[in-house]
Amino acid sequence: MHTVVVGTAGVTAHDVLAVARAGARVELSEEAVAALAAAREIVDALAAKPDPVYGVSTGFGALATRHISPELRAQLQRNIVRSHAAGMGPHVEREVVRALMFLRLKTVCSGHTGVRPEVAQTMADLLNAGITPVVHEYGSLGCSGDLAPLSHCALALMGDGDAEGPDGVVRPAGELLREHGIRPVELREKEGLALLNGTDGMLGMLIMALADLDSLYKSADITAALSLEGLLGTDKVLAPELHAIRPHPGQAASAANMLAVLKGSQLTGHHQDDAPRVQDAYSVRCAPQVAGAGRDTMAHAGLVAERELAAAVDNPVVLPDGRVESNGNFHGAPVAYVLDFLAIAAADLGSIAERRTDRLLDKNRSHGLPPFLADDAGVDSGLMIAQYTQAALVSEMKRLAVPASADSIPSSAMQEDHVSMGWSAARKLRTAVDNLTRIIAVELYAAARAVELREGLEPAPASRAVIAAARAAGVGGPGPDRFLAPDLAAADAFVRGGGLVAAAETVTGPLR
């Protein structure tokens, strides 16, 4: 099994995906253990002094004015975890919780939090044992970190609350720790606070969304090329020299992908009645511009994610010169903005894909295809309602594109008076990515049928490879009406599992 070693300098997106999705083992580097111990010495020294230090010998948030006596400090740390573990609603997905835990461990290992090495090791032990704390959908405002979600994770470290075992069964966390020989932690000064103050949940969801969208943008380029073939469109608009004069890198990449898929096609540039068509519709002609803008948005979001992955997000932080200083680095605005930006771009990509599908089904705009791609129009309805389903998904995507980060609800007696709502932005982006997959699957289903109905002209080799692979995966072809939902589910699985991109790349080589 792959092992990820956590040091003091942060981790990579690949590391996060390996731990969250592939169950990679986690180990602490010697450097990280040494940094943890050094920072802890600073915290212990401050705790022994009579002067109050936030997070070490005071209350939290609006209660920070109270100095806490030494005999109550362990109780203080337990209490912050228990009181903050106040989430409600459905359980959050296992991969999200694993990313959340791993990214918190990343910051702990930076040596800026003051957490003892044994606490960090216990965090790694939970991940390696496949124990996943139960985290709920609601509870984070994306400021002072993802407080409630992280608190549920910290609760499991203490042997409290519920967790999911490696078998997927939810049980008391204490039972699972005992079964795996993991000793619950007894939190000391600052440790409870350090386990809760981070943007780890929203960052983990951003990294996974970027990985999923990378595949979906390639998928959308492929389905756009298939739709262009089905509509007898022209590939001249994809010429590199045209995109070089508007030098957006994402646009050039999308155009190059479409051109690679269409190479060798006999379907492009033909017209059913020999009447000249000066230009294709925007949804066909401007596909690289729209998908390219989304790709460039992803590049910016990836830069933000890289910075966060290298960051130590906590409050207060332990500095190398021995100071423990309060700060606002836990504010989720940088991550929240790009999460919302990605949802906008995903909604637009879904919208243009649906427009191409609708054009394929409309006999007045499809250039000779049968109405709704039906076998016997009137007796058969063809793909009429598949487009309805796609339209419903697009409509929801537009609602999900409304930014969460434009909102703020004050909390903690107005101490935390401006929050990021980044967790909410991440949760709706996950839904948007899920819906976008289905939207692309419907376009694939319609475009593949349209290409097959163009008799006498050969589609591109890459198109033939995609259609053959889709048919082998259970995605049905043209014919009389049948129960459509299973076909659409098969198309969804084909796109979601990477089969669409893999099939095209057998001909094109790696797409950009």
- CA 166 – CA 206 distance, rounded (Å): 25
Total residue length of the chain: 512
- CA 122 – CA 288 distance, rounded (Å): 48
- CA 5 – CA 2 distance, rounded (Å): 10
- CA 84 – CA 154 distance, rounded (Å): 10
CA distances from 7 to 98, 108, 114, 202, 305 (A): 18, 10, 15, 22, 18
Query: Of 54, 217, 337, 445, which one is the catalytic site residue?
Result: 54
335, 199 Cβ separation under 8 angstroms: yes
- Radius of gyration of the CA atoms of the chain, in A: 26
DSSP secondary structure letters along 450-474: HHHHSTTSPPPHHHHHHHHHHHHTT
- At residue 138, the 3 state secondary structure works out as strand
The Cα diameter of the chain in Å comes to: 90
Token digits of residue 249: 């890198």
Closest C-alpha among 296, 233, 298 to residue 261: 233
403, 442 Cβ separation under 8 angstroms: no
Contacts of 120 by beta carbon, 8 Å cutoff, 6+ apart: 28, 32, 33, 36, 105, 108, 109
End-to-end CA distance of the chain: 29
Angle at 111 between CA 45 and CA 336, to 5 degrees: 120
Closest C-alpha among 104, 88, 108 to residue 96: 104
A 10 A CB-CB count for 70 gives 10
Closest C-alpha among 286, 239, 241 to residue 263: 239
| Residue 54 a catalytic site member | yes
Closest C-alpha among 49, 75, 48, 80 to residue 64: 80
369-393 in b/e form (b: 16+ CB < 10 A) is bbbbbbeeeeebebbbebbebbbeb
Q: 195: burial class by Cβ within 10 Å (0-12, 13-18, 19+)? A: buried
Catalytic residue set: 54
